[in-house]
Amino acid sequence: MGPGGGGASGGASGGSSGGSSGIQGAEVGVRVRVLAVPGGSRADARSAAARAWPDLRRLCPSCGSGAHGRPRHADGRACSLAYAPGVALLATADDGRGVGVDVERDDERVPDLPGVLILADWVRLEAVAKATGAGLRGTDPSRLPPHRAVAVPLAGLVASVALLGSDAVPVLRVERVPSPPGGTSYV
């Protein structure tokens, strides 16, 4: 395990607190598709994801560009993409609500930010920021909206899915997307 590494723990969390037992709220299914990408770089993962999920569209709310912005399925359902060297994740909530996902290799360095002690904290913060639709550029890490986040169990990676609000408990369905021969299995 590398600097700041550590596996993400399971369970949903609200705000910046850790997991707890007796969590109440409606269960919301979240489909997390995992695409292993031989070659290793984030750019390779981004290109492979575009080929694997061609129905995704982007639209920037600020400038109207389709070259960047929050991804959506062609039918309008919200989704979230995340990339780490060698892998791409796509998360979609069954009820269509906004969802955020983030992933890092478990040996990634932990950013020096208030409230970020371990890599799982950083990944959760990124997932929540993506769920807001603003990303980290438009999110003050000290003022996250109420949310529930849950770790995605993937070997060698730290990943998290977040739903906004305190009324929803994410229930994950992790699916491996077939990758070209020689791909790595994280599931």
**Residue 38 in domain:** yes
Strand bridging mode 157-164 / 147-152 = antiparallel
For 28, 98, 115, 170, the CA distances from 134, given in Å and listed in that order, are: 22, 11, 20, 20
In a domain, 183, yes or no: no
pLDDT value at position 7?
A: 31
What residues make up the domain containing 101?
12-16+24-177
pLDDT of residue 120: 96
3 within some domain? no
Sequence-distant (≥ 6) Cβ neighbours of residue 64 within 8 angstroms: none
For residue 75, tell me if it sits in a domain. Answer: yes
Residues 6+ apart with CB under 8 A from 23: 11, 12, 148, 169
Q: What is the pLDDT along the chain (187 residues), one digit of tens a residue?
A: 333 333 333 334 444 333 344 567 889 999 999 998 876 787 888 888 888 888 888 887 788 888 777 888 888 888 999 999 889 999 999 998 889 999 999 999 998 887 789 999 999 999 999 998 877 776 677 788 889 999 999 999 999 999 988 888 899 999 998 765 444 555 4
pLDDT, residue 80, reads 93
Domains contained in the chain, number: 1
Exposed, middle or buried: residue 156 (CB in 10 Å: 0-12, 13-18, 19+)?
middle
| pLDDT for res 180 | 53
- What's the predicted TM-score (pTM) here? 0.80
Instruction: Write down the residue that tokens 């770089």 correspond to.
Output: 41
Q: Is 100 part of any domain?
A: yes
Q: In this structure, is residue 1 part of a structural domain?
A: no
Cβ contacts of residue 136 below 8 Å, gap of 6+? Answer: 125, 126, 129
Kindly state whether residue 7 falls inside one of the protein's structural domains: no
User: DSSP of 73-101, one letter per residue?
Assistant: -TTS-B-EEEEETTEEEEEEETT---EEE
Asked, for residue 4, whether it belongs to a domain, the answer is no
